[in-house]
Amino acid sequence: MPLLELTDVQARYGQVAAVHGISLTVDEGEIVALLGANGAGKTTTLRAISGMVATEGTLVFDGKPLPRKAEGTARRGITHVPEGRGILGELTVSENLKMGAYLRRDRKAIASDLDEVESELPWLHDRRDQQAGTLSGGEQQMLALARARLSRPRLLLLDEPSLGLAPIIVEQFFTLVRRLNEEQGLTVLVVEQNANAALELSSRAYLLEVGRVALEGASAELREHEGIRKSYLGY
């Protein structure tokens, strides 16, 4: 049974439908990528999953229907790092990290998770009292990921993590995501414009076109697909 299963999901902003009936699954422990051009409905699909837009169709998570409110999906273990990273800019770095663990009650485990995150990225500790809004884009993305880890997500939704970041930072970021997936079994659904990086990271991928799934398959196969190569990979 997949961890997340969307069947014929539609989402709209007011009168405008942005997603016209998407079906997809994410299994426990895998990294799945959503690819597509601007306006294909990738971001809306993530927002639909986390309950930030009104939806029709069925969304099942871990065998039960998903609540249709963002605070509800968060309580079910879905952590969404939205477009623009969702950093609380006026709060400090350490306050942002604490907010990651907002729903958890296990103080000891939170403390050890915090230690782990801070030992990997010591600057999070050194600059804990800095306003998060003053961090660079790459640092904010790393903070967003660290914060997401503190919520111990069952499913992590990443929206365009590479946007506006230098290639070397993107590389670091994706390496970390892959390591978390391999070592801790973190399940990830990632939306990416950078199809190359996304296909390298993920095991499976969906290609969206105008609010529908146009193509799906194993990432390795999709990389060889002629249409994808021409339109999205550029060779």
Partner 1 sequence: MAEFIQQVVTGLGDGAIYASLALALVLIYRATHVINFAQGEMGMVSTYIAWALITNHGWSYWPAFVFTLGISFLGGFAIHETVIRPLHRAGELTVVMATIALLVILNGLVSWIWQPDEKILVSPLSGGTWSVGDIAIPQQSVYDLIIVLVCVAVLWLLFRFTKLGLALRASAVDPSASRLLGVRVPWMLSIGWGFAAILSAVAGMLAASAQFIFTPGFMQVTIIYAFAAAILGGLESPVGAVIGGLTLGVTINLLGTYFPGQISPDLRLPAALALLLLVLVFRPSGLLGRTAVRRV
| Strands, E assignment, the chain | 4-13, 16-26, 31-36, 54-61, 64-65, 78-81, 155-159, 188-191, 204-209, 212-218
Contacts of 168 (CB under 8 A, 6+ apart): none
Query: Toward partner 1, which CB reaches closer, 188 or 199?
Result: 188
Query: Toward partner 1, which CB reaches closer, 37 or 103?
Result: 103
Window of 11-19, 71-79, 122-130, 209-217 that interacts with partner 1 by CB under 8 A:
71-79
Please identify which residue in 8, 28, 56, 71 interacts with partner 1, judged by CB under 8 A: 71
Q: How many CA atoms lie within 13 A of 81 on its CB side?
A: 32
Q: Please, what is the Cα angle at 52 between 48 and 53, to 5 degrees? A: 60
Please identify which residue in 44, 45, 151, 219 interacts with partner 1, judged by CB under 8 A: 151
By the rule CB under 8 A, 167 interacts with partner 1: no
CA dihedral angle for residue 73, residue 75, residue 81, residue 83, rounded to 10 degrees: 40
By the rule CB under 8 A, 99 interacts with partner 1: yes
Single-letter amino acid, residue 92: T
Query: Toward partner 1, which CB reaches closer, 74 or 207?
Result: 74
Compute CA 53 distance to the chain's CA centroid, rounded to the nearest angstrom.
16
Window of 27-35, 80-88, 195-203, 221-229 that interacts with partner 1 by CB under 8 A:
80-88
By the rule CB under 8 A, 69 interacts with partner 1: yes
Closest Cα to residue 185, out of 5, 30, 76? 30
Please identify which residue in 95, 200, 209, 216 interacts with partner 1, judged by CB under 8 A: 95
By the rule CB under 8 A, 91 interacts with partner 1: yes
Single-letter amino acid, residue 63: G
Query: Toward partner 1, which CB reaches closer, 95 or 216?
Result: 95
Tell me how far CA of residue 98 lies from CA of 27, 104, 120, in angstroms: 28, 10, 17
Q: What is the Cα–Cα distance from 118 to 158, expressed in whole angstroms?
A: 21
Query: Toward partner 1, which CB reaches closer, 55 or 219?
Result: 55
Please identify which residue in 9, 52, 146, 155 interacts with partner 1, judged by CB under 8 A: 52
Window of 2-10, 78-86, 174-182, 194-202 that interacts with partner 1 by CB under 8 A:
78-86
Shortest distance, position 87 Cβ to partner 1, whole Å: 7
Single-letter amino acid, residue 202: S
By the rule CB under 8 A, 102 interacts with partner 1: yes
Q: Which residues contact partner 1 by CB under 8 A? A: 50, 52, 69-71, 74-75, 79-80, 82, 86-91, 95, 98-100, 102-103, 147, 151
